[in-house]
Amino acid sequence: MNAQPTLTTTEFHFPGQKSLYHGKVRDVYNINDNLLVMVATDRISAFDVVLPKGIPYKGQVLNQLAAYMLDATAEAVPNWKIAVPDPMVTLGVKAEGLKVEVIVRGYIAGSAWRAYRDGERSICGIELPEGLHENDRLPHPIITPTTKADQGHDENISAEDIIKKNLVSADDWKTIEKYALQLFAIGSEMAREKGLILVDTKYEFGKYDGKIILIDEIHTPDSSRYFYADGYEQRQLLGEPQKQLSKEFVRQWLIENGFMSRPGETVPEMTDKVCNEISDRYIELYEHITGLRFEKHPDADPAARIAKNVLDCLDRL
């Protein structure tokens, strides 16, 4: 079975366009310094590397899931979204992005577990109790911020240092902490209703019209880790790995094929079969997290469709 056409790069020229930023997955168009057109491409990244082939429908999955989550949390926390003119595009206000990523953890997993396993008991200035095991639930959700590096890797940072280094003011940080924990609580409840556990997630905030707002995607498999709730306790008691609903399966496939982005390693061949299997998993993620049926938008020329839909939306604003 051949893979569906994918959109891995865009070079649109919209009216009022000031700049274009190519991220790992999203292409972001600045319109007149007050709007953003964010295109979720079919690119996929792992280990800080953009893989050589796109994944069918991945951009649509991420964009529609992020829009679903932004709408579900908008009453609690203001966000940047205005409209979804295309299955792969969100249009919203252009905020001044803050140089901090906000990671909320309800469980000890991933990099936090690796640091704990290696003897650290303080993460971003937060003291952790003794006796934790991988994937244990924490006494309460914690915020472990990182700096947003223009180059290289993000670094852990404490709330105290964020304020001391003037990355964010004390008042703004207080608002960000409140919003992040509110979002995590809502996301956790939504996950629970679907038989899932929201383990940890990343939020980004910006300032718009003098106020803190949520920007970018939230609660997607690219920004969050989910466990299946059924069997969680038993797996913990037995010391078994948890069953995950996240992008972790892509990283595992790369590891099994000898790639972790270390010097001298090359990305394994991404056959149509592999790309279609990854696509199927992303669609499964969307349907499980939202409870909605995923409607594929196959298109021989998605770029032309996106250009028309975005232009129509900009004309109406």
Helix then strand count (H, E) for the chain reads 8, 16
Do 152 and 90 lie in one domain? The reply is no
pTM: 0.91
Do 194 and 125 lie in one domain? The reply is yes
Nearest to 177 by CA among 266, 77, 275, 247: 77
Q: Which domain holds residue 197?
A: 96-237
Do 170 and 110 lie in one domain? The reply is yes
| Residues 85-119: b if buried by 16+ CB within 10 A, e if exposed | bbbbbbbbbbbeebebbbbbbbbbbbebbebbeee
Residue 236's SS3 state is helix
Q: Structurally, how many domains does the chain consist of?
A: 2
Do 58 and 160 lie in one domain? The reply is no
Residue 11, domain member (yes or no):
no
Measured CA to CA, the distance from residue 38 to residue 217 in angstroms comes to 10
CATH number, position 119: 3.30.470.20
Do 253 and 231 lie in one domain? The reply is no
Residue 2, domain member (yes or no):
no
Measured CA to CA, the distance from residue 89 to residue 87 in angstroms comes to 6
pLDDT given for residue 1 in this prediction: 47
Print pLDDT tens along the chain (317 aa): 455 789 999 999 999 999 999 998 999 999 999 999 999 999 999 888 899 999 999 999 999 999 999 999 999 999 999 999 999 999 999 999 999 999 999 999 988 999 999 999 999 999 999 999 999 999 999 999 999 766 556 789 999 999 999 999 999 999 999 999 999 999 999 999 999 999 999 999 999 999 999 998 999 988 899 999 999 999 999 999 999 887 878 888 998 999 988 899 999 999 999 999 999 989 988 999 999 999 998 888 999 999 999 999 999 98
pLDDT given for residue 151 in this prediction: 56
Do 192 and 107 lie in one domain? The reply is yes
The residue out of 237, 262, 291 marking a domain boundary is 237
Nearest to 101 by CA among 201, 33, 15: 201
The residue out of 188, 210, 237 marking a domain boundary is 237
Do 76 and 133 lie in one domain? The reply is no
pLDDT given for residue 153 in this prediction: 63
Nearest to 158 by CA among 178, 173, 175, 141: 173
Do 199 and 298 lie in one domain? The reply is no
Do 132 and 50 lie in one domain? The reply is no
Do 50 and 113 lie in one domain? The reply is no
Do 120 and 220 lie in one domain? The reply is yes
The residue out of 203, 237, 271 marking a domain boundary is 237
Q: What are the two backbone dihedrals, phi and then psi, of residue 160, each rounded to the nearest 5 degrees? A: -60, -45
Do 59 and 75 lie in one domain? The reply is yes
CATH number, position 282: 3.30.200.20
